[in-house]
Amino acid sequence: MSFFSKLFGKKVNTPKPVVERNMFNLQLDDIVTYDLEDYKVVGKISYDDHGFKWHAYQLEGVSRTIWLSVEMDDELYLGIYEKIKMKLQEPIPKKLEYDGTVYYLDESGSAKVTGIGRNQNINGMICGYYDYCDEEEEKFLSVEIWGSEIEVSAGYEIEQYELKIIASK
């Protein structure tokens, strides 16, 4: 029996230890610092294309919302993406141009998704995806088809050391 339980006659709840965070276990309300700005994890989408899995965390900052893409494919790939306005319709072309850059289709497919937080309403949906890159493989476009809606995001790769994670609980 602990000192406090003897003193107050009841068991005191000891807080659970905080699990160290990494790119694959970020939780809602965790804080991710990137490029000198703090972002709160407000959602997560997990994609599964026949056993190949990756994640996208929705990060909300003071002035903007970004997506942190996390993929393990022989090595860790991280990307920062922001939604852009681009009118597309099916069939999705093999080449796209945005903001003066030409992007070429790199891979495409469909994935079963699960979501938490702001993204919980997509659980069990199938998302069609098209990933594009420029010739230098420095800029990327992500096209996702959600039913009749087509969303496009522009992004770029980052390194893990550019991120700092503060666990919320």
Return the DSSP state at 122: G
> Is the pLDDT assigned to residue 162 strictly greater than 80?
yes
What's the pLDDT band for 96 if we cut at 50, 70, 90?
very high
Q: How far apart are CA 168 and CA 134, in angstroms?
A: 37
pLDDT at 11: 58
Residue 12 CB contacts under 8 Å (≥ 6 apart), including other chains? 2, 4, 5
> Is the pLDDT assigned to residue 8 strictly greater than 90?
no
pLDDT, tens digit (0-9, with 9 covering 90-100), for 98-146: 999 999 999 999 999 999 999 999 999 999 999 999 999 999 999 999 9
Q: How far apart are CA 66 and CA 56, in angstroms?
A: 10
Q: How far apart are CA 43 and CA 74, in angstroms?
A: 26
> Is the pLDDT assigned to residue 6 strictly greater than 70?
no
Task: Answer yes or no: are the C-beta atoms of 142 and 153 closer than 8 Å.
Answer: yes
What Cα–Cα distance (Å) separates residue 121 from each residue in 28, 32, 91, 117, 142?
15, 23, 26, 9, 21
What's the pLDDT band for 18 if we cut at 50, 70, 90?
confident
Instruction: Quote the tokens at residue 80.
Output: 């920062």
The amino acid sitting at 126 is I
Q: How far apart are CA 81 and CA 56, in angstroms?
A: 9
What Cα–Cα distance (Å) separates residue 64 from each residue in 34, 38, 54?
12, 11, 23
pLDDT at 102: 98
pLDDT at 19: 81
pLDDT, tens digit (0-9, with 9 covering 90-100), for 31-53: 999 999 999 999 999 999 999 99
CA atoms within 13 A on the CB side of 160: 10
What's the pLDDT band for 2 if we cut at 50, 70, 90?
low
- Of residues 54 and 11, more confidently modeled: 54
Instruction: Quote the tokens at residue 151.
Output: 């969303």
